[in-house]
Structure 1
Amino acid sequence: MRTAGRRGGSRTARGVRVIALALAGAGLVGVTAPTAGALGTGPHRGGVDARALDEALEGVIETGGASSSLARVTEYGRTAWKGAEGVGDFSTGAEPSANGRFRIASVTKTFVATVVLQLVGEGRFGLDDSVESLLPGAVPGGAAITVRQLLNHTSGLFDYTDDPAVQVDTETWLREGRWRSWTPRQLLALANGHPPHFPPGTGWRYANTNYVLAGMIVERVTGHDWRREVERRIIDRLGLTGTSLPVHATAIRGPHAHTYLDLPGGPVDVTEMEPSEMDAAGVGISTSADLAAFLRALLGGRLLPAPLLAEMLTVAPASGAGQYGLGIGRLTTPCGEAWGNNGSTGHGHNSAVYATLDGRRLVALSTNGYRDTGQGWNTTQKLLATAFCGRQPATAAPTG
């Protein structure tokens, strides 16, 4: 393990495919919906407890069953603690690095939503403009679906990742699905082959389809691929040197921990995968430092003017415990509210980044799930609670 100020030995991974801060829909590609409101309430408390954070991170491995996990906690933009636990490479026994890169899955949505809101601020279109007006014929009933409803998941559209062409068994995914290339139009066609779950604006249901459409809107309005706009407007502007948005590249470039599936025949390395299936819903790769810099800049008003940031932080009433705004979610910890996002590829890659609105405390983490002990979410809750409270809570909060 590596942490700020101390180093210990690596540990053999025991336990679970951690569900990356998401209880509902585990296994969806691109990501699952954030779970908020599960950690209790109370005022934010003082300093970082490095020993408690070390123990909480160890728990994600020892009790939660992840093969590796890394995390970073910042105070007003400065790293107060960082750590990494587990095994980064089963073939060599190498330790993971706290500075390593990882797939961020649906945290990508926060980047995309930020660019969409920037375009709204530039007068290119409005949040309440229809999908039909921006992407004629893209989806049935698009005249009744607004950009806002895409970003906050109230469109009612079917999630293409639930289609049998994507939602395949593990053996089929390893053999075929893992390497299959997709275009946004193909993904959209899968969703359009199913009826909507409800009329637009009358309910809430997480759907990666919404963000494939958001990426297509960015391209239609700017004339550039959505990746280029995210790079120009956010990644390059903030100097996020560890962040990338691959199109078809299967590998993670730079230092990173490997991800494994625990199968009857032994562990299978699934670090490499064709990312196009996730598109604007979740192709991103980043580091804990970059995610921390991005979220701090976003919540600090450096990327959006105050009125649009307020729109972003307005949660959809129908999102219930998810408390989802426009590409960002509200998490309630034992020490107060935090804002951010989390993601899971559904194949072991899990990530999250959350911060207090005042910028005082921020935590970014990545967990490579492995064995299912049933304690993955509980151990991740403890890590989050420890990061925001400066100590581990005396008892675990209920998971609902």
Structure 2
Amino acid sequence: MGESPHITENTRAWMPRASRRMAVTALAATLLAGTATPAVATAGVAVPKAAAGQDRPELQEAIQEFVDAGYAGVQMRVNDQRGEWVGSAGVRKLGQSAKPPTNGHFRIGSTTKTFTATLVLQLVADGEIGLDAPVADYLPTFKLDRRITVRMLLQHTSGLFNFTGEYYDDGTIVPGIPWAGQEWVDKRFHTYQDEELVRLALSKPAKFAPGTNWSYANTNYVLAKLLIEKVTGHSYATEMKRRILGPLKMRRTVVPGTSPEMPRPHAHAYYRYEDAGQWKTIDVTRQNPSWISAAGEMISTTEDLQTFFSALQGGKLLPAPLLAEMRKPHPKSSGLFGGYGLGLYVQDLGPGCVGTVFNHNGSNNGYGALIYSTPDGKKTMAASITTGDAAIDPAQVFPKALDKLLKEVFCGGKAAG
């Protein structure tokens, strides 16, 4: 498949005309198909605090599988009882031999949603927001259905139209803003306003009555951002720095807003698309993420993601009752990454593994992010995958590579469930 949707996990989103002949799958929605030329794997890079944990060739082989499948590069960090392992495979930039930096920045896509949900829940803990209060009470200008609660935004049960487009069970496709193909390439530096994205969604019919079903929609998390800003009187970026990034000393994590820049060091990411019948590949390392806003804009590193997820699961960011609410999957949500709670996927890896893991993977055009943790936050895996110029079908290759990775990290080499 040439182009594929990447917008958000486990959602059927509008596909560009060139791709409508292909079925939408959970995998295709996860990572882009415009991928990279295979490259030689590089050895795991030793880190001072856990040098003994470096002798783990099975982890190197697991990330190499992504590169062998056609992705440009991978960087990964694993923290567990054996210490910390850090490694990379593939290339930092097409046409060059240097490997991806193991401390490199990357766009984390929908992993941003876990940060956003945590911020909202912190405000719930402070008594500033009611988890089951109508969103309309806080954001009256949008005239939202009063049945839509704050919980429904975080859980994707609001029924609101996804501003990046909807794909319905009967085959109906209703497009939203351009996020793929030539249209996105032409507008990749365009600035969108949050209110513009929300009003586009509200101009379309709701997918279902609030609270009656589950459907992943980026609209929910743009509203969550506006909610944070309205209640605190500060910008989303300011609150993120004050409440999460600052206290956890996550100095390499960025809330870019409208800035297209990527901090150094970083691996380059590429996008393959069809233009007038010809396939083209361009470097999309620089792009304006305002089109996805608090649903997927953030930039981070594997070290910072590990710090955040470990702190979250270890109970350092939320009181126990709210962390428990975050971890309750909605009964109608299920897919490749498990069931969906409040900004968090809950996945059972099956017999022989560690049991339940929490995750929220994500992608933006060119970049993919993986983050997994055990309930106590003591075993974590964080990774970035970059795409290049090889044509692959992620629905065919990604599940196999992900399963190998999960079984090596969390199942002692046994098949993941």
TM-score using structure 2 length? 0.81
User: Counterpart of 1:233 in 2: which secondary structure?
Assistant: helix
Q: For 1:216, which of 205, 223, 226 is the aligned residue?
A: 226
Match of 1:5 in 2: none
Q: Distance in 2 between matches of 1:73 and 1:16?
A: 31
Greater relative contact order (Cα 8 A, min sep 6): structure 1 or 2?
A: 1
Say yes or no: does 1:191 pair with 2:201: yes
Say yes or no: does 1:150 pair with 2:153: yes
Q: For 2:333, which of 312, 319, 329 is the aligned residue?
A: 319
Q: Post-superposition shift, 1:34? A: 9.4
Say yes or no: does 1:290 pair with 2:294: no
Q: Match of 1:208, as an amino acid?
A: N
Q: Match of 1:138, as an amino acid?
A: F
Match of 1:67 in 2: 72
Q: In percent, how many aligned pairs have the same letter?
A: 41
Question: Does the aligned pair in 2 maintain the 1:18–1:376 contact within 8 Å?
Answer: no
Match of 1:385 in 2: 407
| 4+ long deviations beyond 6 Å | 15-21, 32-35
Question: Does the aligned pair in 2 maintain the 1:20–1:350 contact within 8 Å?
Answer: no
Q: Distance in 2 between matches of 1:21 and 1:211?
A: 12
User: Counterpart of 2:406 in 1: which secondary structure?
Assistant: helix
RMSD value, Cα? 2.6
Alpha carbons of 1:52 and 1:127: their partners in 2 closer, same or farther (altered >3 Å)?
A: same
Within a 5 Å distance, the mapping from 1:249-288 to structure 2 comes to 249-263=259-273, 264-288=278-302
Say yes or no: does 1:365 pair with 2:383: yes
Question: Does the aligned pair in 2 maintain the 1:21–1:34 contact within 8 Å?
Answer: no
Q: Distance in 2 between matches of 1:218 and 1:283?
A: 16
Question: Does the aligned pair in 2 maintain the 1:16–1:372 contact within 8 Å?
Answer: no
User: Counterpart of 1:71 in 2: which secondary structure?
Assistant: strand
Q: Distance in 2 between matches of 1:253 and 1:153?
A: 31
Q: Distance in 2 between matches of 1:129 and 1:33?
A: 31
Q: Distance in 2 between matches of 1:27 and 1:81?
A: 38
Partner deviation per Cα, 1:249-270 (whole Å, 9 max, x = no partner): 1021111110112455553111
Question: Does the aligned pair in 2 maintain the 1:17–1:369 contact within 8 Å?
Answer: no
Structure 1: runs of 5 or more not aligned:
1-14, 36-46
Q: Match of 1:389, as an amino acid?
A: C
Q: Distance in 1 between matches of 2:99 and 2:177?
A: 33
Within a 5 Å distance, the mapping from 1:165-204 to structure 2 comes to 165-167=176-178, 169-175=180-186, 177-204=187-214
Q: Post-superposition shift, 1:320? A: 3.2
User: Counterpart of 1:268 in 2: which secondary structure?
Assistant: strand
Q: Distance in 2 between matches of 1:305 and 1:270?
A: 39
Question: Does the aligned pair in 1 maintain the 2:362–2:370 contact within 8 Å?
Answer: yes
User: Counterpart of 1:351 in 2: which secondary structure?
Assistant: strand
Match of 1:7 in 2: none
Alpha carbons of 1:227 and 1:168: their partners in 2 closer, same or farther (altered >3 Å)?
A: closer
Question: Does the aligned pair in 2 maintain the 1:71–1:365 contact within 8 Å?
Answer: yes
Question: Does the aligned pair in 1 maintain the 2:14–2:176 contact within 8 Å?
Answer: no
TM-score using structure 1 length? 0.84
Match of 1:328 in 2: 344
Match of 1:341 in 2: 360
Q: Match of 2:327, as an amino acid?
A: L
Q: Post-superposition shift, 1:317? A: 1.6
Q: Distance in 1 between matches of 2:293 and 2:313?
A: 25
Q: Distance in 2 between matches of 1:333 and 1:59?
A: 20
User: Counterpart of 1:218 in 2: which secondary structure?
Assistant: helix
User: Counterpart of 1:125 in 2: which secondary structure?
Assistant: coil
Partner deviation per Cα, 1:319-341 (whole Å, 9 max, x = no partner): 13441111111122241210121
Alpha carbons of 1:140 and 1:281: their partners in 2 closer, same or farther (altered >3 Å)?
A: same
User: Counterpart of 1:237 in 2: which secondary structure?
Assistant: coil
Within a 5 Å distance, the mapping from 1:57-206 to structure 2 comes to 57-63=63-69, 65-75=70-80, 79-141=83-145, 143-162=146-165, 164-167=175-178, 169-175=180-186, 177-206=187-216
Match of 1:53 in 2: 59
Give the number of equivalent residue pairs.
362
Question: Does the aligned pair in 1 maintain the 2:222–2:294 contact within 8 Å?
Answer: yes
Partner deviation per Cα, 1:117-137 (whole Å, 9 max, x = no partner): 111111112100001111103
Q: Distance in 2 between matches of 1:123 and 1:66?
A: 45
Structure 2: runs of 5 or more not aligned:
16-24, 29-52, 166-173
User: Counterpart of 1:317 in 2: which secondary structure?
Assistant: coil
Alpha carbons of 1:68 and 1:243: their partners in 2 closer, same or farther (altered >3 Å)?
A: same
Match of 2:397 in 1: 375
Q: Match of 1:158, as an amino acid?
A: F
Q: Distance in 2 between matches of 1:34 and 1:123?
A: 38
User: Counterpart of 1:205 in 2: which secondary structure?
Assistant: coil
Match of 2:320 in 1: 306
Q: Post-superposition shift, 1:344? A: 1.4
Partner deviation per Cα, 1:221-273 (whole Å, 9 max, x = no partner): 00001111111100010000110000111021111110112455553111111
Question: Does the aligned pair in 2 maintain the 1:49–1:390 contact within 8 Å?
Answer: no
